Structure 1
Amino acid sequence: MATDSGGYEKTSGFGQVSQTAGTVFKYTLLAATLVGIVALGVLLLYVANDAIQPLTADPGWYLVFFTTFVLPTVAVGWYLNRTDRSSLSAGVTALGIPVVGTIFAAGISTVFIDVVYPLLWFAYFVAFAVPVVFAIGLSRSDFEVPFLGWLGITILTFAASYVLIPYGILRLLYIPTDGMSMALTFGSVGALAARSYVGKRWDGERTGNIVAAITLLVTMLSAPVGQFVGIGAVPAPILMTLAGVPVGLYVADTLAHRPENKVGLALPLVVIGGALLGALFVDILSFAGPQSWLDWKFVTGNSSRTAGDAGIYPAIVGSVLLMFVVALVSFPVGVGAAVYLEEYAPNNRLTRIIKINVSNLAGVPSVVYGLLAAGVFVTYLGPGIPVLPPAIAEPLGLAPIYVAGSLFGSGTIVVGGLALSLLILPIIIISSQEAIRAVPDDMRQASYGMGATQWQTVKNVVLPRSFPGILTGTILGLGRAVGETAPLIMIGAANIAGIPRTFESKVVAMPMQIYVWAGTFATEEFFERVVPAGVVVLLVAMLVMNSVAIALRNKYQKEG
């Protein structure tokens, strides 16, 4: 039994243990943490000050927004924090869902405004949806179809659908507007997601079907409404699917299942209402706001060698397309590798070597991946994917045959996406391995005990249980990829480029654009105005992606 003696304890097996040393160590760690947070905060404030220039606003502008926005928000937040923190959490979530959803919707909308034609998107969406519905219906039917037969029929259905629908059947259909094409595609996906969510939170299939129908109807109506109010017929359905529908479902769920937290919904009303009211009063009283460089013109402007005309819109579109390629490549490959290493690979020396090397690859500098991508994708695959390589063609007296050579040109979106995929692939593999390893082995044994095969166990037990961790690691990996510059420099990404129209276009991403502004065009106006504005936009994109990962992690931790 320990006895206190002058700040020391005599513990069996440890001798004298100093409480003072532990206290000093604890407060040293606290001080180090505070120094890091304060230093980061000062840096961000310094960058934001250069980008927004808040001191250039009229005093009346600050007074109006302090009265209508800051003071009510602080008062409501303080009240909720003192009375019921769960209500405060509900209010913050109800405010965060539309904010994050709006940012994601804006990024996705750029693709359909400037890159992909909505009607073409609708054609391929239908071509994908028809065989999926057919395959699901066939698997649930009473017909006894062996797996290989079902797989063959599904493949043939996909092939026929992609040949007939986009180029044949859809030419006979009348699609009134591009906005309606977006509403039908995104609305149907949103309706299925809403039906699934309601089915889990509310009992009854009928309620889920009603909510799905309402979701599809509201999304379709958003296209003409968006055109009328100036948002646009194409972005409006995307905004409704990613922001409007989720926040509506969350508010309804809060009112139905957690009525004690409904007072927290006052927080988003106060924040949004205060901001709109402040903007109205500022306009009426003619108070000038900050002379911010980070404005709508900067976000939607094209690249330029003149600081006054410089915009970051092409870089935003390029980053969105890069993340599409990265997610399409790294997620299935990374998760597949993790599943194999944890569930199927034998525990031998080769497997252990592979796991060690995957862990080591996560710490390799990003410039090395850029050099690898330049050597493999640009130099080797630059002429195209060799269908009939020279080593085979020349002895036969034939000309070599290459396909898709334009995709692997220097600095294209495909090459940039593949380079960034190589960079984050070890991160996704490691995080997925940890998530799969965290699934209790008793659940696997219970599945085997019920007669399930290994594939059925992985599909129905392991992957659903580990999916939150896998998704969190993937989003964090994408957050790192969106801020990388070195791989893009190595593959020859463009310094100044227009809006990329295809995946064969030269890519100019946000970090690369900021690097060029700070280096090649390092004038005082670029360095003190344009660069900070670009940094703020990039940080917002990264914080939004990381916030989604944090929200998913917290949600599934509470459910677990």
Structure 2
Amino acid sequence: MATEQDSSYAQGFGQVSRTAGLVFRYLLLAATMFGIVTLAVLLVYVANDAIQPLTADAGWHLTFFLTLVLPTILVGGALYRRNREALKLGGMVVGALLVSLLFSGGVAIVFVDIIPPLTGFSYAVGLAVAVAGTVLLTKYETQIPFTARVAATGLLFFLSLFGVPGYFHSIPELVQQAPVVPTDWIILTLVLGGLTALVVGQYIARVREDTKAGVAAGASALVLTALGAIVGPFVGIDANALVVVTAVSFVPTAAYAGGSVITREELKPGLVFAATVIVGALVGAVAVDALGFAGPQAWTDWQFLTSSHSGSAENAGLYPAIGGSILLMVTVAALSFPLGVGAAVYLEEYAPDNRFTRFIDVNISNLAGVPSVVYGLLGLGVFVTYLGQATGTVLIGGATLALLILPIVIISSREAIRSVPNDMRQASYGMGATRWQTVRNVVLPEAFPGILTGTILALGRAIGETAPLIMIGAPNVVFNLPTELSSKVSAMPLQVYAWSSLFASEDFYTKAVPAGVVVLLAVLLAMNSIAIVLRNKYESET
């Protein structure tokens, strides 16, 4: 028989050989492993220069092995044999804590150092008033025409946030001129803690299917955030910083762990694994400090993360560049997300299939592959030369990077919208819904995880770009955080580029550059991990 022979002839395929198939399979495997190993060696080489783990005392390594590594292996091995889903939950909790801690640092930079807490609070109040008015308008959507509601909503947001100069003060102005204002930690608790409490409350209410449980969880989240400010000074941590970390990292991670266990009680052992890792790390840190063991002489340390550029590699820091990257990403997201999603919705749900739309499709695909330096030249020509804007500012840098990733956002959003089954649209139409109601209530909620995943991956590309920022005249080095959209801005890849070129020396090559690369890679991996988790969750639900 043909299946018993090593090779045979199939009509239309020519000579069919199982040997050739096996060779091709193992060649692909070898190519994949070669790429993975090469990348791993490169990352280990850079991380070794930045962290220098071998410079730590032998007692330091032994202590963490006994308190962290060995217990983690034992507990993880036991769960791997008995309950792999619980082990997966434990790993997710630890990963969520690490990633949220990383992002809480960025949030602290924005809402403590860049934007004064009172300013942020005033705009939060203005935004809350505008949102409340919009919600009130939606309750009368059957009595008020759609165009009138859109105009009223836009006017409400504009008057609340900006007012009319000379005639009507905006709500932020009125709040900042109030005779009595709360302290910074109370403001951060109300704004960040309140937002976290709202999200946690809704999550627990949905998991428990109990509104009262959600209200209790939200109140507990707000109380825990406030306790962070009270406990902070006693443990040597700034109250404002601990409020941010509690609201952005500790409380959401605890809520995720608790909600997962509520839905599936068999996953409770996974919390034991997470506790083993977290407690082991804390016990190890306390033990090495008490025993006096010296840790690694890492260049990626607290001083590096909180200092600005210096002429010596030992004192150089990445802090202004980190703040600049955060503001650039906020600007890029604010510009590219609504434009990209709006274009995708139009092209998929409204645009007719004609030559013009096919021409647009082809050009969007081509624009996604254009080198980034071309977008830098485009930003220089349009925003700086034609519009006469200042070079190297947050707004111009964000707009240029938004142009860079806009085709990617459009393509990924279109793919997510296209993946929504057409039967769901037809069912919505069959119930009498309009096209807009179908898009708003059916298509976008179903496609949102895919849209968000594609946007995060696109932002990951933007945060690592250097050429567009060089083209628009962004400074290589800044010594202060940008505080406005018109402020000069640098970014992490631009700062690393400056260290490796303008300040090229043996010290910078072996100290500052590897440390900057490790920080940049940590941010990129954190963003990509969020996108991967969202994609896997979406695929498992569908």
TM-score, with length taken from structure 2: 0.95
Alpha-carbon displacement from aligned partner over 1:109-160 (angstroms, at most 9, x marks no partner): 1122221111011011101101211221342269933334434443443344
Asked whether 1:431 is paired with 2:405, we answer no
Alpha-carbon displacement from aligned partner over 1:226-274 (angstroms, at most 9, x marks no partner): 3443332323232222212221212222332211111011122111111
Query: Secondary structure at 1:167's aligned position in 2?
Result: helix
Cα separation, 2, equivalents of 1:368 and 1:15: 46
Alpha-carbon displacement from aligned partner over 1:266-287 (angstroms, at most 9, x marks no partner): 1221111111222222122222
Asked whether 1:548 is paired with 2:542, we answer no
| Count of matched residue pairs | 534
Cα separation, 2, equivalents of 1:462 and 1:487: 35
Is contact 2:122–2:175 with CA below 8 Å preserved after alignment? no
Aligned match for 1:527, one of 509, 512, 515: 509
The verdict on how the C-alpha distance between 1:229 and 1:32 changes in structure 2, with shifts beyond 3 A counting, is same
Measured after TM superposition, the shift of residue 57 of structure 1 is 1.6
Is contact 2:118–2:176 with CA below 8 Å preserved after alignment? no
Give 1:373-522 correspondences, 5 Å limit.
Answer: 373-382=379-388, 408-499=389-480, 500-522=482-504
Measured after TM superposition, the shift of residue 198 of structure 1 is 2.1
In the alignment, what sits opposite 1:236? Answer: 242
Letter in 1 for 2:250: G
In the alignment, what sits opposite 2:332? Answer: 326
Letter in 2 for 1:278: G
Cα separation, 1, equivalents of 2:269 and 2:309: 46
Aligned match for 2:342, one of 312, 320, 336: 336
Letter in 2 for 1:117: P
- Using the aligned pairs only, state the percent identity: 55
Query: Secondary structure at 2:483's aligned position in 1?
Result: coil
Give 1:200-219 correspondences, 5 Å limit.
Answer: 200-219=206-225
The verdict on how the C-alpha distance between 1:362 and 1:143 changes in structure 2, with shifts beyond 3 A counting, is closer
Letter in 1 for 2:178: L
Cα separation, 2, equivalents of 1:119 and 1:2: 79
Cα separation, 2, equivalents of 1:510 and 1:170: 33
In the alignment, what sits opposite 2:165? Answer: none
Alpha-carbon displacement from aligned partner over 1:8-40 (angstroms, at most 9, x marks no partner): 245566464200000011010000011001000
Is contact 1:304–1:496 with CA below 8 Å preserved after alignment? no
Worse-matched range after superposition: 293-302 or 234-243 = 234-243
In the alignment, what sits opposite 1:97? Answer: 96
Cα separation, 2, equivalents of 1:323 and 1:16: 54
In the alignment, what sits opposite 2:4? Answer: 4
Cα separation, 2, equivalents of 1:50 and 1:37: 20
Worse-matched range after superposition: 477-486 or 249-258 = 249-258
In the alignment, what sits opposite 2:277? Answer: 271
Query: Secondary structure at 1:309's aligned position in 2?
Result: coil
* Superposed CA RMSD: 1.8
Worse-matched range after superposition: 453-462 or 284-293 = 284-293
Letter in 1 for 2:23: V
Letter in 2 for 1:124: Y
Is contact 1:331–1:474 with CA below 8 Å preserved after alignment? yes
Instruction: Write out the 4+ residue segments of structure 1 that deviate beyond 6 Å after TM superposition.
Output: none
Query: Secondary structure at 1:328's aligned position in 2?
Result: helix
Cα separation, 2, equivalents of 1:146 and 1:491: 44
Alpha-carbon displacement from aligned partner over 1:40-72 (angstroms, at most 9, x marks no partner): 010001101111112212222111111111111
Cα separation, 2, equivalents of 1:19 and 1:300: 59
Worse-matched range after superposition: 500-509 or 85-94 = 500-509
In the alignment, what sits opposite 1:63? Answer: 62
In the alignment, what sits opposite 2:113? Answer: 114
Asked whether 1:295 is paired with 2:331, we answer no
Cα separation, 1, equivalents of 2:104 and 2:175: 30
Q: Which runs of 5+ in 1 are unaligned?
A: 383-407
Letter in 1 for 2:402: S
The verdict on how the C-alpha distance between 1:308 and 1:14 changes in structure 2, with shifts beyond 3 A counting, is closer
Cα separation, 1, equivalents of 2:45 and 2:196: 40
Measured after TM superposition, the shift of residue 371 of structure 1 is 0.7
TM-score, with length taken from structure 1: 0.92
Give 1:99-178 correspondences, 5 Å limit.
Answer: 99-140=98-139, 144-162=143-161, 163-169=169-175, 171-172=177-178, 174-178=180-184
